[in-house]
Structure 1
Amino acid sequence: MANPFTDGADYALHRPDYPRELGGLLAELPARRATALDVGCGTGQLTVQLSRHFDRVLGVDASAGQIDAATPAPGATYRVGTAEDLPVDDAGMDLITVAQAAHWLDLPAFYREVDRVAAPGAALALVSYGMCRLDAEADPGIDELYQEFYWGEFHRFWAPARVHVENGLADLPFPYEEVEIVCPPIVRKHRLAHFLGYVGTWSAAKKARESGHGGELADFARRLAARWGDPEQARTVVWPVTVRAGRVG
């Protein structure tokens, strides 16, 4: 699994957490609620939610930096590992989740691992939050500025797999009987620094900086600040949430 995120502290601070309803919706999928496995867990945004509904939850991520910054929760443990070679015994997991990471995986290899670790009656859920809208109702102009930056010249820094986030995982292969899950969007209030911190966690932002094009990020920050006004003003950010879920076996 390719993993461009290594700074777990920044990721935990600036990435949005999921709607509180999501954990409960996912917990309805499997036959039992004994064990859950959160693959590509990052710093544990979804792992913590699952811990409220399952006896034991394991979060696995390829980045030691993410695991080091993971959020503790009762019944939750974290381990470094990959989706294609999960550090999990056979037939032991009632729910397997992948949140905001499915597009990075070698999916055929991952699905083989899902089949191996799934307990009888298990379920799998791929979760993704898509393109956000920045205060689109209150100030359409500031959202237009953001959208132009995202889809403009800067878009070249995104990996091709980013299309799966942009289209709500619609084109990813999914070899299981699907179950419809409707999740509310993520809605947050961000000050200027927090929103720019979120942009800074993008894999595209990392690629831009490493390739000597960090100035494009700085230019966007200046233009956004000029439009934002008071940097302490909180603006509404909305991310749509997609869940592709199914029963394994």
Structure 2
Amino acid sequence: MSLIIDGYNLLFAAGMVGSVDGEGSFEGERRALLDALLKVIDPKELSQTTVVFDSANAPPGLPRTVNHHQITVRFASGYADADEMIEELIRDHHAPKRLTVVSSDHRVQRAARRRKATAIDSDSWFRLMRQTRKRIQEQEAKKPPPPKQPSASVPNAQVNEWIKFFGEIDLADLMPPETADPQTRQPKAASPSRPAATHEAPAKPSEKRKPAEAGEGKEAASNVFSADYLKKIANEFFGPGEQ
């Protein structure tokens, strides 16, 4: 829903004139009015809201069109007054049936109704919007807090059941060797029924055995029994002097 608001008309209707500035510049009142609109207009409609002020009291050097937190603020420079500019905006609006014009000026209201737009007095609109926003805030306050998301943690009782069924597992064993954290990988304790395997230190390059040469194996085999033992066996089977 689009909104076109007669700025100074609403300023007087809302009783904000003289409430901020004491010098009649209207700058503080305009700012107070725009801040008040932020509190009563649906945030989704702020970007579709245009507030028109007469240019006679516009701040010098300010652009004719400014943005105040998504609200478009226009000063009727080059027009006789704000009413004339509002009439043009109503005439050029692409969807007047979805337009609401806020002004107590009968001339502006007639221009709105000619194009099938909604026209409403400034004081009535402001009071209605304040009541609406208050009711929405009260409804929001009464809403129960959103339910907490269920915890993703596994109950201890279930963890204990898994341990009984699967046995204790070293988490480091579940990780690939190249990704396992060396700080978390601990050596396993030796099983009571099986002694821990011992590992010999690797031989130094200079201590490695050379390949066996031809005949070396046979010579080693022949030296398994001593000469005295072989002689004794021969005496038992063949008698002395028969070797």
TM-score between the two structures when normalised by the length of structure 2? 0.29
**Larger strand proportion of the pair:** 1
Higher relative CO (CA 8 A, sep ≥ 6), structure 1 or 2?
1
**Larger helix proportion of the pair:** 2
TM-score between the two structures when normalised by the length of structure 1? 0.29
